[in-house]
Amino acid sequence: METYGCQMNVADSELVAGMMEKSGFAESDSESGADAVFLNTCAIREHAEDKIHSRLGKLRMLKSENPGMIIGIMGCMAQHLKDNILQNKPFVDFVLGPDSYRRIPELLRRHEETSASVVDTRLSRFEVYENLYPSRQEGINAWISIMRGCDKFCTFCIVPFTRGRERSRPVESIVKEAQQAVDHGFVEITLLGQNVNSYRHCDARFPELLDAVAQIPGVMRIRFTSPHPEDVDDDMLFVIRDHANICNSVHLPLQAGADRILQRMNRTYAQAQFLSLTERIRNILPGCGISTDIIVGFPGETEEEFDETLAVMEKIKFDSAFTFKYSSRPGTKAAEYSDHISEEVKEVRLAKLLDLQHEHTLFRNRQEIGKTVNVLVEKESKKSSSEWAGRTDNNKWVIFPKGSAEIFDFVDVTIIDARGVSLFGEIIQVGKKSHAVV
C-alpha cells in the first residue's frame, strides 16, 4: 500500500493494513513481489492527481510482466475520478472510495473468484470505522481519526465531495484506541479529522473529547489537526491551557486575508474575526505556536486583496505556514468562476508570501533563544549523525547534539540559535519520558 496526501490518508492506510492483517493478508516488502498494490490517493490539488497518473503508468508496466497483479486505487482521487479511471485505465482492478475500506478483504476474495473489476464509491453517513484497530508504522506518534467528512463546503475544496458528510466516533471508542496506542508504546497522540474541532458525538464536543484523551494515563503529548477557525471556542482553548500534555500549538487555516475573497471561498469568518481569534489564542495560551494554510491566486483575487493577505500575516506573524497556489478542482464552485488567475501571477504571489513567512518564522523562532524548552527526541537530524531532531510543545523543530539522550526521551534543551525554520540548542537535562503531567 502506498499513501499519498494528508495525515487522514496515513491513518486510513494504517486502518486498512490492520484490517488486512487480521483477515490473513501480509504486507509484501517489494512492489514486484506483491499480488496486489493499492494506492491511497489525494485529490486536493491537480498536482496530487498527476502524481498518481504517472505512478499508475509505471504499475501498468509491472502488470504487463505479472498479469495476475491487482492494482487498486482508493481514497479521494478514486472517489473524485471514478468514471475517468474506469474509462481510461482498464488495467485498474479496484476503485474504492474512503467509505468502502471495510469491504476490501471480502472484495479481494470475490475478485479472486471472478476477476471482475470492482468499483465501490458509495459514501456513507455513518461509517467511522468503529472498532477497527490500525497497524501503525510510526513509533512515536499515533494518528487517531476522530471524525470524518466535512460540511463546510469551502468553494475551492473537493473534500466534502470525496469524503462526504461529517460524522464522529464515540468518545469511549477514541479513548480506548488512544489507551491501546499508549500500551503499545506511543507517547504522542494526534487526533485527526477533516474538520477536527467540529467533532460532536451525542453531548460531547471537541473540548470534552480533548479533556477525556488528556486524562488517559501515559499520554505524554496530544496534538490535533486540522481545525476550522469557526469552531475554535474558549472552551477548547481552556482545555489546552489546563492540561500540560495537550501541546501548546494551534493550526489555524487563514486561506486569504481580504473579506471579499474569504466570502467567495465560503470561509464563514471575516478578517477582523480571524485577527481577534488569534489574539484570544495568544492571550489564553501564551507562547502558543500558531501555524496556518494560505492559498494565493484564488479566482478574482486582485493585487490589493493579495496585499491584504500579506498585511494579515504581518499582524499575526504566524510561526509557520503551508502555502499553496490555487488549484482548480472540477466539481467545486470555485472551478466555475470565470476570473481565474494566471500561473505566472500565482508564482509571483507565492514567492512574496514565502519570503514574508520566512521572516516571520525567524522572528518567532528568535524569541525562543535563551529559553529552556522541553523537547521530545524524535529522529536523527538530517544534516548530522551526531545530532538529534525533536519538537517542542509549541511544534518547533530543535536540533541539538545527541549527548546521552535517546529517541523517545523528553529532554530540556536551552535554545542558542534560530536559523532557517529550525532552532538549535544544547541539552540541559535528559528526563526519560518524565515530563508529561496529566
Q: Which CB atom, from 134 or from 149, has the smaller least distance to ligand SF4?
A: 149
Residue 195 contacts ligand SF4 per CB under 6 A: yes
Taking a C-beta distance cutoff of 8 angstroms, is the pair 261, 268 a contact?
A: no
Question: CB 143: neighbour CB atoms within 10 A?
Answer: 25
Q: Which CB atom, from 136 or from 228, has the smaller least distance to ligand SF4?
A: 228
Max CA separation in the chain (angstroms): 67
Residue 150 contacts ligand SF4 per CB under 6 A: yes
Pick from 5, 72, 75, 160 the residue near ligand SF4 by CB under 6 A: 160
The dihedral through the CA atoms of 193, 396, 414, 371 has a sign that is negative
User: What's the burial of 339, exposed, middle or buried (CB within 10 Å: 0-12/13-18/19+)?
Assistant: exposed
Residue 79 contacts ligand SF4 per CB under 6 A: no
For residues 370 and 359, give the distance between their C-alpha atoms in angstroms, rounded to a whole number: 19
Q: Which CB atom, from 152 or from 366, has the smaller least distance to ligand SF4?
A: 152
Residue 357 contacts ligand SF4 per CB under 6 A: no
> Cβ of residue 149: shortest distance to ligand SF4, in angstroms?
9
Stretch that binds ligand SF4, among 14-22, 106-114, 150-158, 380-388 (CB under 6 A): 150-158
Residue 111 contacts ligand SF4 per CB under 6 A: no
Q: Which CB atom, from 41 or from 392, has the smaller least distance to ligand SF4?
A: 41
The residues in 217-236 that bind ligand SF4, with binding defined as CB under 6 A, are 228
> Cβ of residue 37: shortest distance to ligand SF4, in angstroms?
28
> Cβ of residue 301: shortest distance to ligand SF4, in angstroms?
17
Residue 322 contacts ligand SF4 per CB under 6 A: no
Residue 153 contacts ligand SF4 per CB under 6 A: yes
> Cβ of residue 254: shortest distance to ligand SF4, in angstroms?
12
> Cβ of residue 156: shortest distance to ligand SF4, in angstroms?
7
Provide φ and ψ at 134, rounded to 5°. -75, 155
Residue 159 contacts ligand SF4 per CB under 6 A: yes
Q: Which CB atom, from 158 or from 210, has the smaller least distance to ligand SF4?
A: 158
b (16+ CB within 10 A) / e for 100-135:
bbbebbebbeebeeeeeebbbbebbeebbbeeebbe
Question: CB 137: neighbour CB atoms within 10 A?
Answer: 11
* 318 to 102, 151, 182: CA distances (angstroms): 40, 27, 32
Q: Which CB atom, from 227 or from 425, has the smaller least distance to ligand SF4?
A: 227
CB-based contacts of 239, cutoff 8 Å, min separation 6: 207, 210, 211, 214, 246
Q: Which CB atom, from 245 or from 255, has the smaller least distance to ligand SF4?
A: 255
Peptide bond into 226 cis (omega under 30): yes
> Cβ of residue 253: shortest distance to ligand SF4, in angstroms?
7
Residue 154 contacts ligand SF4 per CB under 6 A: yes
Residue 182 contacts ligand SF4 per CB under 6 A: no
Can you give the length of the chain in residues?
A: 438
Q: Which CB atom, from 153 or from 322, has the smaller least distance to ligand SF4?
A: 153
> Cβ of residue 77: shortest distance to ligand SF4, in angstroms?
15
Residue 157 contacts ligand SF4 per CB under 6 A: yes
Nine-digit cell string for 70: 491487482
Give the N- to C-terminal CA distance of the chain in Å, as an integer: 36
Pick from 168, 194, 361, 381 the residue near ligand SF4 by CB under 6 A: 194
CB-based contacts of 89, cutoff 8 Å, min separation 6: 56, 60
* DSSP per-residue letters across 284-310: HSTT-EEEEEEEES-TT--HHHHHHHH
- What residues make contact with ligand SF4 under the rule CB under 6 A? 150, 152-154, 157, 159-160, 194-195, 228
